[in-house]
Structure 1
Amino acid sequence: MMSVSPAEHDALVGRLWRAGCVWAEDEARLLVAAAGSPARLAGLVDRRVSGEPLEYLLGWAEFCGERIGVDPGVFVPRARTALLVSAAAAVTGPAATVVELCCGSGAVTRALARRLVAPRLRAAVDLDPVAVACARRNLAALAVPVFAGDLFGPLPAAWRGSLDLVVANAPYVPTAAIALMPSESRGYEPSVAVDGGPDGLAVLRRVAAGASNWLAPGGHLVVEVGEAQVDEFRAVLTDAGLVPAVANDGALDATAMTACRRTAVAGGPDEN
C-alpha cells in the first residue's frame, strides 16, 4: 500500500475539506489506501473534489458491518437503512422466505442473510440494469437470483401468497425535494432510485398494493419512508389490507414501516 508524507497528507485533507468533505481525514485515508500509486491518487482526489461519491471511487460502501460493492450509477446504501434491516429482522421468524424489491446493490439482502436465522432468500429485483449487474455480483455467494424488472413483475407466479418477508428501500423523495439533496447524489446517483413522485409515495403505493397478493398470511412488508410520510402511508397500507407499524431511530434519522398481512380468521376465509 502506498504512503504519503505528513505534508502531503495535510495538503490532501485540506483540499478535501475545502471541497466540502466533512469527514476529510477519513476520506483521505481511504483514498490513499485505494490508490496504489501517486498518479491514481491524484485522479481519485480530482474526482472526489468535483463531487463524485466516495463510494464510487472506492468501489464499495460500508453497510451493516460489511463492504458492499457499489458501481458508478448505482444507489449508494445509506447508514439509515440499517433500521429497515433491524425492523425486518424483528418481525421475521426462522426460515423466512424473503424477496427484496428496488434492491440497488443488494445491500439489504446481504445484511439480512447475516441477521436472519436460516432465511430462504428467494430473489432480489431492480428496474435498473446497472443495479441488477451490481447486485448479481454482491449476491452471487448467497446464490440469490437478481431479476430485472418492475417490482413484483418478474417474480414467478407460483410465489404468490407465499412470501414471509418483502423488503423494499423504494424511492420516497418527493420530486420537488430532489433539488435539496446533496449535489453528489443529484449529479451521480440514478433519479429512478430516489424520485418518489409528487408526494414521494408513488412507488411505495404500488409496493403496498402488490404486497397483499404476494405475502403469505402473517407475512410482512418492510419499507423505509420519510417521517412526514408516515400518516399518509399508514392509510395506504391499511387500505391494502395490511396492518402497519412504525419504527424510528433518531440517531440514524431513519423511519421504517412494517405491515403485516392479516391471517385468516379461525373458521372463516382469509381476509385478503
Structure 2
Amino acid sequence: MINIHPELCPSGPYCWNQERFRDLLPNLGIRMEQLGMLVAAAPAADKGELEARVRAELDQGSVCSSLSLDHQLVLGYDDAGFDLSQPWGEGVVDSTPRRLSFGTWQEFVQSPPVAFFKLEPCKRRSESTATASALDFAADFWRCPDQFAWETYGTGSQAYENWIAGLDSGHGDDHGNWWNAVVWGECRERAGDFFQRLAAAEYPGPVDPRPARELAVDYRALARLLYRASDKTASAAAKRGFVEQAKNLDERCIARIAEIRAH
C-alpha cells in the first residue's frame, strides 16, 4: 500500500480509510473496534462523550489505542487526561504526545483528527484465508482508490503521481518526503519478507513458490529504491528518478498479485 499527499505531508501513512485494514486484523487474531474520532476543535460535549466511552472501556480492562499522527496505546487516565504511549521514546518526536488533556485536547490542536480504538483477541483465521484476503487488500488498495483515499490524498499509482508532483514543487527536502519514503520503504521490505515466507510454504495459501520468490526479490528492490529517495543528501532530480522507478516496479508487482488471485 501507499498513500501520498501532493505536498508530501508526513500524514500519508495515517490519513486514509482504514476499515478494510481493520477487517484484516482477525488474520492475526485481533479485533479492532473504532470508538470514535474527533478533531481537537470539536464541541466540548462531543469530546466529553468520547472520553467517557474510552474511560469506560479502560475500566472494564479493555486495551485501547489512539491514532492521530501515529498509533499510541492509551495506558490509563487521571482526572486531567489520558496517558499515552510514545512508541519512538519520550522527546524523540513531537507527533506522539504523552498526554491528551480532557476537554481541550490541547496536545493535538495542530494534528489530524484523533481516533480511539478498542482491541481484543478473537479467533484467528486460517492461513489460507488470511493469505488470500491480504493479497486482495494489496491489489484493491492500488486499483480502487475510492475505497481508501481521503480527499486530496492519492493511493496506488496516484500516490506516486502526487509524490512526483511534490518533488517538482520543491518539497523534496521536507520531512514528509523522508518520512513517506522510509515508511513505504519499510512496508515493501516487509512485503518482501511475506512473499519469501510464502515461497518457503510457511504461510499456506494460493501462491506457487516461483512467483512468490520473484515478488520477494522485487519488493526488496522496491524498498531499496524508496530508501534511496529518503536520502536527505540526494538531489531532487535523483529522488524523482528513484520514485519513478519505484512506481513502474510497484505497478508490475500489483499486476502479478492480481494475476495470482485470478487463477
TM range (shorter): under 0.3
TM-score, normalisation: structure 2: 0.21
**Which structure features the higher share of helix residues?**
2
Structure with greater proportional strand content: 1
